[in-house]
Chain A
Amino acid sequence: MGVRVKSVLPVLTVILAVVLIWIIAVVPMNMHLTADQAQRDGLIVAPDTPKARQDFSGTRLAFKNPHLISLTYVGKRPNLPSPHQVAVEMYKTVFGKKITSKRSLVYHGWVTLAPTLLGFVMGTLLGIMLAVGIVYSRVMDKSVMPWAIVSQTIPILALAPMIIVVLGAAGIHGVLPKSIIAAYLSFFPVVVGMVKGLRSPDAMQLDLLRTYNTNNSQGFWKLRLPSSTPYLFASLKIGISASLIGTIVAELPTGAKAGFGARMLVGDQYGQPILSWAALFAAAITAATLVGIIALIERGTLRQMGMKSA
């Protein structure tokens, strides 16, 4: 715990610096839009035509029109919303709406979360099974393992939207297509991690079991599986965030009606950038929470087992 407390202040400093840069960047990013709007509202803007303003950078425009700076933070359709706009939008859509409402971020969050979790569980179970197969079968090790490694270098995620449409055309709708993608993405990290984990007992330990005259299944349950736990949790943390990212990407360009991905796209297409940003941050918080939950379970489990994380 000591290390954690020591890191709190530096972490807060870095976050503060990022937010500060964000706040400063809002001004030049939105200056042109704000100036155009201000002129329409009858304020004096220099230079006085949008065309002339195009020759100026956002920063120079801000210096010329200091009275407009505060307006850049409250625009309705900003290029870059200010942090408080995003926070207010998130508060409104998380706490201000009924969770069954289509405008509630909690509703959209669940639409994304359900396939993520289902897929994550499927992918993890299949991954563990394949890993066991690879560890115990020489043929599978030699023929499947190289492909499991190569598959991690392939940008499968980019194809998620297509897979959704194909499965939809094949009559598979609802939660399942998205969870298949989530499962696929969490599958390979678990395979690779678990193979490493199941092989982590050293020759000495395996020999000891042999002197006890144990059979294969006892060796598996009493030595290999327990010693793979730290590796399993390390892969689960990668797997769950990959699952969530997969689900979101799957929702992005396929015309999905609900979910974080759909929300990001709708905000973008209908000129409501604050909506997109709120969805983006909500997705980030969800990802962080999921990884955090697994990290907590990891810490508890490993402490019970008297192990260290991989």
Chain B
Amino acid sequence: MMYVVLGFIVWGAGWVLNVYLANGKQSNAWAMQILIPLIFGLTIVLVWECFVIGFEVNPVFLPRPSDIVLRMVSETSRLWADFYQTIIKGALTGYIIGGLAALAIAILADRSDFLTRGVLPVGSFMAALPIVGIAPIFVKWFGSDWESKAAVVAVMVFFPILVNIVAGLRDTTVMQRDLMRTYGAGYWPTLIKLRIPAAMPFIFNGLKIATTLALIGAIVAEFFGSPTVGMGFRISTSFGQLALDMVWAEIAVAALAGSAFYGIVTLIERGVTFWHPSQR
């Protein structure tokens, strides 16, 4: 019971502290923008810990955050192997293949206005579909190792990236293209020097959407067959053993990997599209 009361106290204290910080003079400072959500997150974790102890929640339903952290420390090597198998081999390979394929198709379609008008609606339609359902089929086709995961990821990321590249390549004004023509630039110089750079904000928008999809595809595909390593494999087998703290440790790794992946793409975007109003 004491822990339940403690949980409420922590919650109240965190909230009061955040009210104070958010309404304070410095609230728009750079450090505060990070500190306030951090306090909020930490409060939730502490309240979680207190309530799990206080209400004596069965760890099969919800483990304590401290148990999860302990697991992450004691199983680091295994978590790393899973991370390498799923994220680096499966998700990243598929992401790159899907992205390059989308670029190739987009440039092919770009040669004709007719094809562009066809690819754009079909692509955005496909992007809304439950493509992840192909996972069992692909695992059968490409075997249970990372190749099948990369294939699922490649198909999943293909459409959002394609749509954004095609839309981006249309995003130049007649004036800009005329200027290139006065320089005597043909199709390819115009594409490389003007239209691809101009499309970059769109392309990165697609790449950012695709990061989460890539992780989802790689993890879900492992539910249908995998070698004895990988995040999806570990989640489903640990779950079978009721080792929920391991499941949550993998979830934490997935969350960190997802945010890091997104963050890296955003950083690259900042470097590449420094000229765009949204980055200034």
Whether A291 sits at the interface, judged by CB under 8 Å, is yes
Contacts of A169 in B (CB 8 A): 60-61
- Per-residue contact bits, chain A 246-282, to B (CB 8 Å; 1 contact, 0 not): 0011001100000011001100100001001101100
- Stretch from B47-55, B73-81, B167-175, B211-219 that touches the partner: B211-219
In the bound assembly, the distance between CA atoms of A146 and B140 in angstroms comes to 40
Whether B15 sits at the interface, judged by CB under 8 Å, is yes
Contacts of A155 in B (CB 8 A): 212, 215-216, 219, 254-255, 258
- Per-residue contact bits, chain B 21-49, to A (CB 8 Å; 1 contact, 0 not): 11100010000110011011100000000
Whether B11 sits at the interface, judged by CB under 8 Å, is no
Q: Which residue numbers of B lie inside 8 Å of A, CB to CB?
A: 15, 18-19, 21-23, 27, 32-33, 36-37, 39-41, 60-62, 114-119, 121-122, 125, 128-130, 132-137, 140-141, 211-212, 215-216, 219-220, 223-224, 232, 235-236, 239, 247, 251, 254-255, 258-259, 261-262
Q: Which residue numbers of A lie inside 8 Å of B, CB to CB?
A: 6-7, 9-15, 18, 79, 138-139, 141-147, 150, 152-155, 157-159, 161-162, 165-166, 169-170, 237, 241, 244-245, 248-249, 252-253, 260-261, 264-265, 268, 273, 276-277, 279-280, 283-284, 287-288, 291
Q: Which residue of A lies closest to B125 (CB)?
A: A288
Contact B220 A252 (CB under 8 A): yes
Contact A154 B259 (CB under 8 A): yes
Contacts of A170 in B (CB 8 A): 61
Q: Known: A138-B23, A142-B22. Is A153-B247 also a contact (CB below 8 A)?
A: no
Cβ distance A169 to chain B, nearest Cβ, rounded Å: 7
Q: Known: A138-B22, A154-B259. Is A11-B118 also a contact (CB below 8 A)?
A: yes
Q: Could you say which of A18, A146, A158, A248 contacts B133, with CB atoms under 8 Å apart?
A: A248
In the bound assembly, the distance between CA atoms of A296 and B258 in angstroms comes to 34
In the bound assembly, the distance between CA atoms of A277 and B27 in angstroms comes to 54
Q: Could you say which of B40, B136, B211 contacts A153, with CB atoms under 8 Å apart?
A: B211
Q: Could you say which of A142, A253, A279 contacts B224, with CB atoms under 8 Å apart?
A: A253
Q: Could you say which of A15, A142, A152, A244 contacts B37, with CB atoms under 8 Å apart?
A: A142
Contact B235 A159 (CB under 8 A): yes
Knowing that A142-B33, A154-B254, A253-B236 touch, tell me 13 more A-B residue pairs with CB under 8 angstroms.
Answer: A10-B117, A139-B22, A142-B21, A142-B22, A144-B40, A145-B37, A153-B261, A161-B236, A166-B62, A241-B128, A244-B130, A279-B133, A283-B129
Contacts of B235 in A (CB 8 A): 158-159, 162
Contacts of B136 in A (CB 8 A): 252, 264-265, 268, 276
Contact A284 B220 (CB under 8 A): no
The 9 closest A-B pairs by CB, nearest first: A10-B118, A143-B40, A158-B219, A14-B118, A155-B215, A146-B37, A153-B262, A268-B136, A10-B117
Contact B216 A268 (CB under 8 A): no
Contact B254 A249 (CB under 8 A): no
Cβ distance B101 to chain A, nearest Cβ, rounded Å: 13
Contact B137 A276 (CB under 8 A): yes
In the bound assembly, the distance between CA atoms of A245 and B212 in angstroms comes to 14
Q: Which residue of A lies closest to B215 (CB)?
A: A155
Contacts of A145 in B (CB 8 A): 37
Contact A143 B239 (CB under 8 A): no
In the bound assembly, the distance between CA atoms of A138 and B122 in angstroms comes to 41
Contact A283 B130 (CB under 8 A): yes
In the bound assembly, the distance between CA atoms of A116 and B201 in angstroms comes to 33
Cβ distance B92 to chain A, nearest Cβ, rounded Å: 14
Contact B22 A14 (CB under 8 A): no
Contact B216 A157 (CB under 8 A): yes
Contacts of B224 in A (CB 8 A): 252-253, 265, 268
Q: Could you say which of B117, B133, B220 contacts A280, with CB atoms under 8 Å apart?
A: B133
For this complex, 16 residue pairs linking A to B, each with C-beta atoms less than 8 Å apart, are A146-B37, A150-B259, A153-B262, A155-B258, A158-B254, A162-B236, A237-B128, A244-B130, A248-B130, A248-B132, A252-B133, A252-B224, A260-B130, A279-B133, A284-B129, A291-B128
Contact A152 B132 (CB under 8 A): no
Contact A249 B129 (CB under 8 A): no
Contact A288 B40 (CB under 8 A): no
Contact B130 A139 (CB under 8 A): no
Contact B212 A154 (CB under 8 A): yes
Q: Could you say which of B18, B36, B117, B223 contacts A7, with CB atoms under 8 Å apart?
A: B117
Contact B133 A273 (CB under 8 A): no
In the bound assembly, the distance between CA atoms of A122 and B106 in angstroms comes to 38
In the bound assembly, the distance between CA atoms of A238 and B187 in angstroms comes to 36
Contacts of A244 in B (CB 8 A): 130
Cβ distance B62 to chain A, nearest Cβ, rounded Å: 8
Q: Which residue of B lies closest to A141 (CB)?
A: B22
Q: Which residue of B lies closest to A271 (CB)?
A: B140
Q: Which residue of A lies closest to B123 (CB)?
A: A14
Q: Known: A153-B262, A158-B216. Is A147-B37 also a contact (CB below 8 A)?
A: yes
Q: Known: A162-B239, A288-B128. Is A264-B22 also a contact (CB below 8 A)?
A: no
